[in-house]
Amino acid sequence: MRIGIDVGGTNTDAVLLGDDDSVLAAVKSPTTSDVSSGITASLGALQDQRAFDPAGVKAVMIGTTHFINALVEARRLAPTAALRLGLPATAALPPMVDWPQRLVEAVSGRSYLAHGGHEFDGRTISELDPDELRRHAADMAAHGVRSVAITSVFSPVNTEFELRAAEVLAEELPDVAISLSHQIGRIGLLERENATIVNAALRELASDIVGGLFAAVAGAGIDAPIYLSQNDGTLMDVEHARRYPVSTFASGPTNSMRGAAVLSGVTTCAVVDVGGTTSDVGVLTRGFPREATTEVSVAGIRTNFRMPDVLSIGIGGGSLVRGAGSSATVGPDSVGYRLTERALVFGGDTLTATDIAVAAGRADIGDRARVAHLDKELVAAALARIAADVADAVDRMRTSSQPLPVVAVGGGSVLLPEHLPGSGEVLRPENFAVANAIGAAIAQVGGEVDRVFTIEPGRRGDVLEAARAEAVERAISNGAVPSSVEVLEIDEVPLPYLPGGATRIRVKAVGDLSLTARSSVDLREPLPVGSRA
Amino acid sequence: MSWLLDESHLADLSRGATLLGTGGGGDPYIGRLLVAEAIKEHGPITVLDPDEVDDDLFVIPTAMMGAPTVMVEKIPRGTEPVLALRTLEAHLGRTAQATMPIECGGLNSMIPLLVAARAGLPIIDADGMGRAFPELQMETFSVYGVHASPMVVAGDRHETVIVDTGDDDVRMERLSRACAIQFGGAALIAEYAMTGADVKRVAIPRTLSLGIGAGRAIREAREEHRDPFAALAEFFAGTIYQNVRPLFRGKVSDVERRTVGGFTRGGCTVAGFDGGELELRFQNEHLLALRDGEPVCVVPDLICVLDDTSAEPITTESLRYGQRVVVLGISTPPIMRTPEALAVFGPAAFGLEQPFVPVEELVSERFSEPVAV
């Protein structure tokens, strides 16, 4: 058995899954401000719904929006220093230059520039200067800094300076948490540095929360390893979560989409989550969400987190329906959370998409008699409008001319027809209300490579093979069952104007979590020179 | 008339310069931050109209050369472009009275603004590419007899190299490119020193304000819920670029990139919603658009790929399967279409067999009516 828990802003959902991924129990409880008492309550509710032996639980997987919410609300952020290694380069734009002032203040942000950094091809920009680092450390101590983010230029190509600087700082500031950028982001200095600073600012909160999760799970008599969901739908163990809370930022939508897929039994599909105000469309390929390729701003901070590519359109259960007869329009404005007072079926005075669904017999919500008078032509036209808009959104997200199965989840999914034009059948899994928790429970572990490689003529195949092997190796060292690991995606982008076929290669491999041995996710060692072909 | 450029212009310039980059030129984001910081420190920048400058005004254009992908990771020290300018001044024994862009598309729309703010110089509203091109000799300056040499290449260690290849701007490109790679893949340069009289003869006028105007046209159309493509057509009609032609509307169905001789070459296919397809060929920037096999826009005319709803320009690096796009062809001014100019940056200079034919002769559709392709 496994337990999946989703700690959302409002509700904490929990599911108990059998070894065949069947849903044995599913519960919802209110989220609590300390997170752990909400989890204790959910675990208790699972027991109430279906008694189970805590010793039989092999793993607990938790997805949470707690950390991203803490950043958005600018609460409980630690006093943080950003140390950048790259002088004399990069001085023109110091750390946090493009941050909203409010957040710089919320993290009591202090910026330090020091020598170090690499060129694109691995040459050094300048040598690390330990004395310079010690002077910076003394200043950090004097200003009450409790967490440090270290970012070295081209650290995705060579991690050496970040690791060495971390050693120097750890000697000087033994009680300060240290976050390293090569563990967090990819090429793009400011975006990677921003993510690392955010991570550093969340370290204290992460320590508290992770401690609370441990206590809550142990308190329920469960002695199984605990994992947290990451943005890309893979898992990390709690020690990693303590160090890299930022890796949980986009796990909410990711878990929802993955859970929907497993519930419906299709792994390559479009997932349409129809809420009260919007429908969010994402695409899963072999069980993993397609990632957005553009920079993502979180709370006004530009980052290069891997976020799922989601298209939102203004159609939901609360969408306003206007017009008459065949010229009906739906949304984009909505009555939102006031659906239960404003919609006709609830005795309100506003014609909403939910009223249309009830009038058409697709849903039985509220008082059906209150919508019996609606013009049949209007109802048909509104439903056709909804189907056409959602079909268009699905089509926009499609990357090939192959039809893509559609999985519909969310309370508003009754608005969708049995078939969408151009897509085929619409699948509606049961238990979709706890799709997030299921998505957490079924998550796999991954390994990734993202670096600039030098490809000599005729050696492209060898280089790609080396990158694949490295990604697979990382997945295994992160706890994947070796025989289950497969390479999910390979992306190569040649870099213009550089000699020697410099190419940025990104490979992602995933596999099933080994439930027999505890995994250990350690600071990755610097790569041997030979691995850069 | 001269005018003041401040921080409020930078977002529009960034978007417009990406459009004029015609797929390449590098993301102006880092450049925009550099200029914003410089303006905060030194105040707004004076922009001079090229028709109004004194004939004996001494101008040193400035730019970045190398891989924009490097610059997003190894951000400049910030002092290099002014150092390049000062070093060239010392070498020539003359003090610059203004700077000027050599390339109005992409990241290089921003670098001369950084120099202008930090060195306290005005900037001339003109450039030598009228878009983005991959190589430094692809300049109207060079075409009409103002040569790059002597030029200065500067790196973040405050090292400088003076490159002097006489009248041979292709050799200048090769030698300075080798320096830029030694400087870490990107370097800052000062070159093509000229007088105000030269500017009037060899530069493409008002291309800095063109970038700002194009970016503003897209933004205002969005804010006012008007068609941004029609707004662009209307804007360009009042400039020397004049004609905007709808080439295609569809979905990216294939993208292929490979590195050849240090450049990203490749192609992209856009499948039309009602059949048909558009094929794009690029070398960093778009060079050729073929609609159902027939050429509809040829370099140096601008081929611009934009998001089909937001009209946000999409670079060749960020093209991907499934994007819904509108492809525009934009005519270039006569100074970029002479036989001498086409010899340097026309289709033959990129190894294309198609002859250059102006986009307004290849495509008759306009933007007065909705895009119906």
B11 to chain A, any CB pair closer than 8 A? The answer is: no
A408 in the same domain as A325: yes
Same domain for A425 and A290, yes or no, is yes
The reply to whether A341 and A414 lie within a common domain is yes
Q: Under an 8 A CB cutoff, do B77 and A92 touch?
A: yes
Q: A506: pLDDT confidence band, cut at 50, 70 and 90?
A: confident
Q: Find out whether B309 and B294 touch, Cβ atoms under 8 Å.
A: no
Closest Cα in chain B to A401: B253
Given the cut 0.85, state whether the ipTM is greater than it: yes
pLDDT in tens, B30-61: 999 999 999 999 999 999 999 999 999 999 99
- pLDDT tens for residues B346-358? 999 999 999 999 9
The per-residue pLDDT for range A266-307, each reduced to its tens digit, is: 888 999 988 778 888 898 887 778 877 666 778 888 987 777
What's the pLDDT score for residue A435?
84
Whether B368 contacts chain A with CB within 8 A:
no
Whether B72 contacts chain A with CB within 8 A: yes
Closest chain A CA to residue B272: A401
Rounded to the nearest 10 degrees, how much is the dihedral formed by the CA atoms of A330, A335, A341, A345? 10
Chain B nearest C-alpha distance from A227 (Å): 32
Measured between beta carbons, the chain A residues lying within 8 angstroms of B271 are: 401
Of all residues in chain A, the one with the smallest CA distance to B252 is A399
> Based on the domain organization, do A296 and A416 belong to the same domain?
yes
Does B272 contact chain A (CB < 8 Å)? no
Cα A477 to its chain centre, rounded Å, is 21
In a domain, A375, yes or no: yes
Kindly state whether B79 is in contact with chain A, defined as any CB-CB distance less than 8 angstroms.
Answer: yes
Cα A326 vs. chain centroid, distance in angstroms?
A: 41
pLDDT of residue A490: 79
Where residue A32 falls among pLDDT bands split at 50, 70, 90? Answer: confident
- A126 belongs to a structural domain: yes
| pLDDT (average), residues B110-118 | 98
Check whether B301 has a pLDDT greater than 90.
Answer: yes
Cβ <8 Å between B76 and A501: no
For residue A193, the model assigns a pLDDT of 96
Q: Is residue A438 part of a domain?
A: no
Yes or no: say if B211 and B131 are a contact pair by the CB < 8 Å rule: no
User: Alpha-carbon distance B215 to B220, whole Å?
Assistant: 9
Residue A219 lies in a domain: no
H-state helical runs in chain B: 10-20, 29-42, 68-71, 80-92, 111-119, 140-143, 169-182, 196-202, 207-223, 228-237, 339-345, 359-362
Query: Scanning every residue of chain B, which has its alpha carbon at the shortest distance from the alpha carbon of A118?
Result: B74
Of the two residues A305 and A17, the one the predictor is more confident about is A17
**Which chain A residue has the Cα nearest residue B271?**
A401
From A162, A183, A201, the end of a domain falls on: A201
Under the banding of pLDDT at 50, 70 and 90, the label for residue A341 is confident
Can you tell me the mean pLDDT for A409-436? 83
Test B78 with A91 for CB contact under 8 angstroms: yes
Whether chain A has a CB inside 8 Å of the CB on B258: the answer is yes
pTM of the model: 0.85
At B88 the pLDDT is 98
Which of A452, A499, A421 lies closest to A158 in space, CA to CA?
Answer: A452
Same domain for A414 and A462, yes or no, is no
**Sign of CA pseudo-dihedral A117, A140, A188, A283:** positive
- In this structure, are residues B45 and B116 in contact, taking their beta carbons and an 8 Å threshold? yes
Same domain, yes or no, for A523 and A424? no
Domain membership of residue A393 as a residue range: 266-429
Whether A400 shows a pLDDT value over 70: the answer reads no
Could A119 and B37 be called an inter-chain contact, meaning their C-beta atoms sit closer than 8 Å? no
Query: Across the interface, which of A89, A397, A493 has its CB nearest the CB of B257?
Result: A493
The HSE-up count of residue B19 (CA atoms within 13 Å, CB side) is 35
Residue A63 resides in a domain: no
Q: Cβ separation of B75 and A120 shorter than 8 Å?
A: no
* Tens of pLDDT, residues A136-154: 999 999 999 999 999 999 9
CA distances from A3 to A49, A233, A267, A517 (A): 14, 16, 21, 17
User: A419 pLDDT exceeds 60?
Assistant: yes
Place of tokens 């609460």: A75
| B70 has a chain A CB within 8 A of its CB | yes
Show residues of chain A in contact with B72, CB under 8 Å. 187-190
Chain A CB within 8 Å of residue B37 CB: yes
Nearest chain A residue to B156 by CA: give it.
Answer: A89
Q: Considering A146, A176, A201, which residue would you say is the last residue of a domain?
A: A201
> B284 and A187: CB-CB below 8 Å?
no
- Give B73's contacts in chain A (Cβ within 8 Å): 120, 153-154, 187-189
- Domain end, chosen from A429, A453, A471, is at A429
| pLDDT tens profile B319-341 | 877 788 999 999 999 999 999 99
Q: Which residue of B has its CA nearest to A93?
A: B34
Cβ of A497 and B180 within 8 Å? Answer: yes
pLDDT bracket for residue A332 (50, 70, 90) = confident
- pLDDT at position B148 is 97
Query: Do A292 and A173 lie in a common domain?
Result: no
In chain B, pLDDT over 70 holds for what percent of residues? 97
pLDDT at position B200 over 70: yes
pLDDT, position A520: 40
- Check CB contact under 8 Å for A494 and B69: no
Model confidence at A522, in pLDDT bands (50, 70, 90)?
Answer: very low
One domain for residues A400 and A479: no
> Confidence band (pLDDT; 50, 70, 90) for A262?
confident
**pLDDT greater than 50 at residue A315:** yes
Which residues does chain B have within 8 Å of residue A498's beta carbon, measured at their own beta carbons? 67, 70, 181, 185, 262
DSSP state of A65: -
Joined tokens for residue B243: 């004609």
Out of A162-171, A444-453, A493-502, give the one with best mean pLDDT.
A162-171
Distance, CA of A96 to CA of A99 (rounded, Å): 5
Map tokens 């992209």 to a residue. B268
Would you call B77 and A496 a contact, using CB atoms and an 8 Å cutoff?
A: no
Stretch A59-64: mean pLDDT, rounded? 91
Average pLDDT, integer, range A389-413: 82
Closest CA–CA distance from residue A177 to any residue of chain B (Å): 25
Is position A387 within any domain? Answer: yes
What does the pLDDT average to over B256-279? 81
A-B interface: how many C-beta pairs under 8 angstroms? 121
Domain count, chain A: 3
pLDDT of residue A7: 85
CATH code, domain with A103: 3.40.50
Contact yes or no for B159/B188 (Cβ under 8 A): no
Is residue A421 domain-shared with residue A491, that is, in the same domain?
no
Question: According to the model, what pLDDT value does residue B142 have?
Answer: 97
A499 to chain B: which residues are within 8 Å by CB? Answer: 181, 262
Could you tell me if residue A494 is inside a domain? yes
A342 and A449 inside one domain: no
Percent of chain A clearing pLDDT 90 (strictly above): 43
Q: Which of A153, A397, A501 is the closest to B74 by Cβ?
A: A153
Which chain B residues have a beta carbon less than 8 Å from that of A293?
Answer: 318, 320
What's at B230, amino acid-wise? A
- Check A398 against B259: CB less than 8 A apart: no
> Could you give all domains of chain B from N- to C-terminal order, each with its CATH number?
3-205 (3.40.1610.10), 238-362 (2.40.390.10)
What mean pLDDT, rounded, does chain B reach?
93
Query: Does residue A18 fall inside a structural domain?
Result: no
Condensed to tens digits (0 to 9), the pLDDT of residues A125-139 reads 999 999 999 999 999
* CB-based contact, B142 to chain A, within 8 Å: no
- CA B158 to chain A, closest CA, distance in angstroms equals 9
Which residue reads 């279409």 in tokens? B337
**Chain A CB within 8 Å of residue B73 CB:** yes
Q: Which two tokens stand for residue A366?
A: 């509220």
pLDDT in tens, B146-177: 999 999 999 999 999 999 999 999 999 999 99
Residue B321: count of CB within 10 angstroms of its CB? 15
Q: Note whether A278 and A162 are same-domain residues.
A: no
Question: Which CATH number belongs to the domain containing residue A390 in this structure?
Answer: 3.30.420
Mark whether A457 and A409 lie in a shared domain.
Answer: no
SS3 B160: strand
Q: What is the mean pLDDT of residues A207-212?
A: 89
Residue of A nearest to B155 (CA): A89
